[in-house]
Structures are given as structure tokens and as C-alpha cells.
Amino acid sequence: MAHTQVSSNKCAGGFQKVFEHDSTELKCKMKFAVYLPPKAETDKCPVLYWLSGLTCTEQNFITKAGGQVAAAEHGIIIVAPDTSPRGCNIEGEDESWDFGTGAGFYVDATQEPWKTNYRMYSYVTEELPKLINANFPTDPDKMSISGHSMGGHGALICALKNPGKYKAVSAFAPICNPVQCPWGQKAFSGYLGPDRAAWEAYDATVLASSYSGPPLDILIDQGRDDQFLSASQLLPDNLIAVCSEKKIPVVFRLQPGYDHSYFFIYSFMNDHVKHHAKFLNA
């Protein structure tokens, strides 16, 4: 479980660090960011995992979301991985922005040539938490998950597929029903093949319809002026309908005037950290 520090910056009383390691799941070098709040110097802390969206790396969240101040206040470690394997030399991996590099979609691919490396689901739910818990002052029983867009989809499916593993989940402008939208259909057919039943295993709306785990509190913020909302890529109404039918508590906030960018995330990040703190520090 060797990992190497790439950078370290004092931030909000703690440290924003970036590390690199050789991933066994993804068979390549991967970077991940870790924010260590001041509390981590003396105590074990809960961990919030942040999953970023299409085209992002571990850098976007740590430089744009402003989550460190709230994380410092609530004593939460934030871990932000990259969004896909890197440099695998797979033919076609760099051809489009919404498939391949920077677009792992948090699934375990079953199709050639992707299935050897594109295992982001197992990386995020198994390999990375093991690495984090072995090397940082964490409380391994207290983790939660959040994300944006493709990463919001990732956060929702990780929580819904692993009842009880995450204490809470939140998302900004998540892709809620990927089997029904162009982004999801493109990614899932490439990574998972033509069988739609395989797709449904990674669709938050489908997973919510059969969820039977412990209570899971979901917070979703969505910008009303998000171009991808109007392009029917996100489809939050489908998820909300299923959640209300299944009595899964979801707070959905449609935020007037906000778009899909990190300016939107920055505006409401404190609320999300507070949401997680309520369950992580209980």
C-alpha cells in the first residue's frame, strides 16, 4: 500500500495534500487528494469521499469547491480521487471527453478493451478506503460520500449499492438515471456492453427502487439554469419520484440562477459538509 506525497499545502488550519500510488484495481499510477483537518493531528476523523465529474482530476475539487474550511470546522477528512485510470494506452481512451480518460463513470467495465483498467467502482469503494484507513488517522466506521455530475451519479450508486457502508450521501447536479440519458447510454454501452440489465446495476434511480438497507439521508442540489438539466442528461425528477415512493428521505433543492459549474458547488459546499457532519459526528 505504498503511496508517495506529491504536494502539501497548509489550508484552513490543516493540510491539503496530494498523493500518488500504484493501483491494483486500475493497473496504473493514480493520484488522490486528502484534506487533513487540524483535528487529524490528535484524533481519528471520519472521511468524506468526493467524486468529481467528467474531464476532472483530483485537482478540481481541492482548488475550486472551498470545502476545506467547513471540513476543518467539523473535523472531517476529505478524500478526492481522480475520475478514471490514466495513461493506460488503450486505443480510443482520449478520443472524447465523455468516455475513456476523465470519464470512468464509477463502474467496473466488463467489455474489452476497458475491463482490465476501468474498475473505478471497486477502486472507490474498496481499494481506496483500505489505503486511506491504513495510512491516515481515520475512523474506518465513519465514511460518507458526495460528488458532482458524473461523480454525483457515482456517490449515489456507491451509497445505494452498499447499504450501511456510507453514513450519508449528497450530490450536486448528479446524473440520476444514466440508462435514460445520452451520457449514460454512451458510457454504459462502451464499458458494460449491450445488456441493459448490466446498466441498471449502476443506475441510481433503478437502485433506489429496490433499496432495502438502513435509512439513507440524501441531499441533492441542482442549479435551475444548468444546461445539462435542460438537455435531459441529469433527470433528477425520475430519482425523486422513486425515492418518495420508497420513502427514502431526499432533500432536493432546485437553486435558481445556478449552472453546472464549480461556482455553483462553491456556493453550497458548506451545506453539504454540514449534512455529512450531522451523520459522521453523531
Q: How confident is the model at residue 193 (pLDDT cuts 50, 70, 90)?
A: very high
Residue that wins the pLDDT comparison between 52 and 1? 52
Per-residue confidence at 7, pLDDT binned at 50, 70, 90? very high
Backbone angles phi, psi at 184, to 5 degrees: -65, -45
- Tell me the domains of the chain and their CATH numbers: 3-281 (3.40.50.1820)
| pLDDT exceeds cutoff 90 at 170 | yes
Give the helix/strand (H/E) hosting 188: helix 182-192
Query: C-alpha grid cell for residue 99?
Result: 468516455
Which region, left, alpha or beta, applies to residue 19 given φ > 0 means left and ψ of -120 to 50 means alpha? beta
User: Span 146-174, mean pLDDT?
Assistant: 98
Residue 126: the pLDDT is 98
pLDDT of residue 274: 98
Please report which confidence band the pLDDT of residue 262 belongs to, taking 50, 70 and 90 as the band edges. Answer: very high
Q: Which three cell numbers stand for residue 12?
A: 484552513
Which pLDDT score is estimated for 248?
96
Residue 110 DSSP symbol: -
| Contact in structure between 272 and 44 (CB atoms under 8 Å) | no
Rg of the chain (C-alpha set): 17
pLDDT tens per residue across span 222-260: 999 999 999 999 999 999 999 999 999 999 999 999 999
Mean pLDDT value across residues 128-146: 98
- Work out the pLDDT band at 141, boundaries 50, 70, 90: very high
User: Which pLDDT score is estimated for 57?
Assistant: 98
pLDDT on residue 236: 98
Set of cell numbers at residue 192: 458494460
Instruction: State residue 139's pLDDT score.
Output: 98
Q: Kindly give the residue spans of alpha helices, DSSP state H, lying in 33-170.
A: 59-64, 68-74, 120-122, 128-135, 150-161
Give the amino acid at 170. Answer: S
Q: Hey, which residues does 49 pair with through a beta bridge?
A: 79, 145
Average pLDDT over residues 210-231: 97
Tell me the catalytic residues: 149, 226, 260
pLDDT band at 127 (very low <50, low <70, confident <90, very high): very high
Residue 36's pLDDT band (boundaries 50, 70, 90)?
very high
Residue 69 CA to chain centroid, in angstroms?
A: 20
